[in-house]
Chain A
């Protein structure tokens, strides 16, 4: 990998930092927490029908790809008090992965 790409990977910690833009998420299952830093986005989403539309939210967590080793679609991610199911993982090829989340329960 190039020096520039290496630097980008190192710099990810600047952004994915709970003291800055990120929050802490738990990928652990059961008693053992597995804490990572993620940036959460809540994007407005509209489910359109023929007669009406429903306003909902698309919630995504931006993560370091390396932090998601062993994590797959269907696993859970807990952010704050809310438990989410990971319904899609979208790596961007630069060391970041977007986890698309669905609230559980």
Chain B
């Protein structure tokens, strides 16, 4: 398994820990989605979704490569007030802070940005987005 796959597996596991029973403020970890392509029915919320996208090669030598993979994490809630969506952001940051090396696979995790948004239809949908960069090192031609 590649280092990147190991990191993303750890991200998935960590996000799934975001439950009130584990000391977090919300239960967005009840439904973790990775690279979700089909629309999620609103009845399945709250949910947390993530995807890894661009990997920037920060530096390389003849033997090694420093990678910075961008990961976007989004939490969705149904009929939730702004205070709850802010708690989604808080919980995501708290989960990352547990171990920002993802079990020693990464060097560090960098916060990039966060935002919240609401959409009102028959039911209100609140969305919190957190963007991070995970830095990790591989052999020059490994993933």
Q: Is the CB of A54 within 8 A of B129?
A: no
Q: Is the CB of B41 within 8 A of A55?
A: yes
Q: Is the CB of B74 within 8 A of A56?
A: no
Q: Which chain A residues numbered 38 to 69 have a C-beta less than 8 Å away from chain B?
A: 42, 45-47, 49-59
Tell me whether chain B's interface is mostly helix, strand or loop, or mixed. strand
Residues of B within 8 A of A59 (CB): 121-122
Partner of B40, one of A50, A53, A58, A101: A53
A84 to B122, CA, bound (A): 8
Annotate B114-127 by CB proximity to A: 1 below 8 A, 0 otherwise: 00000111111101
Q: Is the CB of A56 within 8 A of B50?
A: no
Q: How many residues of A contact B (CB 8 A)?
A: 20
Indicate the member of A53, A57, A87 with the most B CB atoms within 10 Å. Answer: A53
- The answer to whether B96 has its CB under 8 Å from any CB of chain A is no
- The answer to whether A14 has its CB under 8 Å from any CB of chain B is no
- The answer to whether B36 has its CB under 8 Å from any CB of chain A is yes
Residues of B within 8 A of A47 (CB): 76, 119, 121, 125, 127
Partner of A55, one of B33, B40, B49, B129: B40
Minimum C-beta distance from A89 to chain B (A)? 14
* B contact residues vs A (CB 8 Å cutoff): 33, 35-36, 39-42, 45, 47, 49-51, 72-74, 76, 119-125, 127, 129
* A contact residues vs B (CB 8 Å cutoff): 42, 45-47, 49-59, 84, 87, 101-103
Q: Given contacts A51-B49, A54-B40, could you give 8 more A-B pairs where the C-beta distance is less than 8 Å?
A: A46-B39, A47-B125, A49-B74, A50-B72, A55-B41, A57-B123, A58-B122, A102-B123
A-B contact pairs, 25 of them (CB 8 A): A42-B122, A46-B39, A47-B119, A49-B76, A50-B51, A50-B129, A51-B72, A51-B74, A52-B36, A52-B39, A52-B76, A53-B40, A54-B42, A54-B76, A55-B39, A55-B40, A55-B41, A55-B42, A56-B42, A56-B121, A57-B42, A84-B122, A87-B120, A101-B122, A103-B123
